Amino acid sequence: MSSGGFRFARGNLGKLLGLPRYAWGAVQARSSTRDPRLWVIGSAFGPADGALAFWRAAKALPDPPRLVWLSGSAEESAAARAHGVHAVVDRDSAEAHRLTLRAGLVAVTHGFGDVDRYGVSGAVIVQLWHGAPLKKLHGDSPAVTTLGGLERVPGVSALIRRAYRAGTSQISLFPTGSGFFAPFLASAFHLMRGQVKVLGEPRADVLFAGTRQERVAASRALLAPHLGEHAASRVVLYAPTWRDGDPDPGVPTELQWLRIEELCERFDLVLLVRPHPLGVGEYTHASSRVRLLTAQDQPESMPLLWGLDALVTDYSSMLVDYVVTGRPLVLLAPDLDAYRASRGLYVDYDWLSGGRWSTDWDDVVDRLEHLFTDPAAADAAAAHSRELALRFHEWTDGRSAQRVVAEASALVARRFS
């Protein structure tokens, strides 16, 4: 799989070119009357993850507001309607702009482009985000505000930083799953700590629904169609993070693929490779034991996590969600020094990994073999996952979406009373 994907430099250039439209949108917003009973919701992921959980919780209110989903494509619109979302509008349309200008509340998971980015000023803005901050975000990372060489033009870097600050400081509510992450989010998005609230993440509610046995069964049922004739086998998921359009350095070599295949046969397991939706990497190796599982095949990763026997990743926030299962975590970081220097991390990687991480697939294969043959090693890995889960998840009742919607409703009532 190979794709040019999104790059921060390209997106930031678009922000600079769009500054006049942002300014005009702010003028329009000042002359618009916002309706506290109108909420618009959008997500770069489509109708999934935290945005869908938020929509469902808002829809379940005793007296729900008018909820409108702003969609980025015909496919997304169809998926939204399949989930029971009836009010769906093209987010690039004049109607979406009008609705965003009138909405009392705007909910997004990535950025204001999830809705109509030029109409959000003055609304109660709920930023649901799409993962916990392990890698540095927004204002905390020079990689996020890069302009691909235009930084050499005097004043341009300061302008893009001011644009980020002006935008993100409008956020009214940024829920998080743990006080551990709250200072990182406040710093990255230029927020006061009161705007970041430990209410739990709506996107994580699926991890805590039902009993442990029910969660595992539900995940295995979702995984089964992607496993072919090996539906009853162990499952290891490899999920590398996005590297701003650069190639994934963790792609195995041909010899390493052979070792992976041998491991899979010996321990009756399937390796599912799930590249980041925006990632770049050549995952052309495929067999009955090594299978590509893209975001198009399975849009959400969260419902899969309880069905895994191990997760291999690098700096992806997926590991924050996965550790609630108490299953082994194997970190593969072939570019750790370069990634620290370019993007940056909020956490100590040695602590995160439990004291050991891999730099290539040969070591990953050795570690997986050790985990599957040594009960003491498996127990230690499980204990480390549980330790991380205690730090990362303060709410485990599966009701975070309801808490976030209740807080959002209170903010709307205060704003427009």
Summarize pLDDT for 40-93 with one digit per residue, the tens: 999 998 999 999 999 999 999 999 999 999 999 999 999 999 999 999 999 999
Phi, psi of 272 (to 5 degrees): -95, 130
Give 18 or 399, the one with higher predicted confidence.
399
CA distance 388 to 89: 40
CA distance 103 to 126: 12
Average pLDDT over residues 152-168: 70
DSSP codes, 90-124: ETTSHHHHHHHHHEEEEEESS-GGGS-TTS-TTSE
Choose among 56, 82, 86: nearest CA to 69. Answer: 86
Q: What is the pTM of this model?
A: 0.90
DSSP codes, 307-363: G-SEEEESS-THHHHHGGG---EEEB-TTHHHHHHHT-BSS-HHHHHTS--BSSHHH
Choose among 80, 137, 416, 113: nearest CA to 408. Answer: 416
pLDDT over 90 at 143, yes or no:
no
- Which amino acid, one-letter code, is at 250? G
Confidence of residue 280 (pLDDT cuts 50, 70, 90): very low
Average pLDDT over residues 146-169: 69
pLDDT over 70 at 183, yes or no:
yes
Domains of the chain: 8-204+398-415 (3.40.50.11820), 210-392 (3.40.50.12580)
Task: Give the tens place of pLDDT for each residue, 287-327.
Answer: 999 999 988 888 889 999 999 999 999 999 999 999 999 99
Confidence of residue 160 (pLDDT cuts 50, 70, 90): low
Say how many residues make up the chain.
417
Question: Is there a contact between 77 and 88 (Cβ–Cβ < 8 Å)?
Answer: yes
Residue 154: what pLDDT? 67
Q: Who contacts 350 (Cβ-Cβ below 8 Å, separation ≥6)?
A: none
Q: Who contacts 227 (Cβ-Cβ below 8 Å, separation ≥6)?
A: 233, 235, 270, 272, 291
* SS3 at position 158: helix
pLDDT over 60 at 35, yes or no:
yes
The conformation of residue 398, written as its DSSP 8-state character, comes to S
Choose among 395, 396, 407, 394: nearest CA to 61. Answer: 407
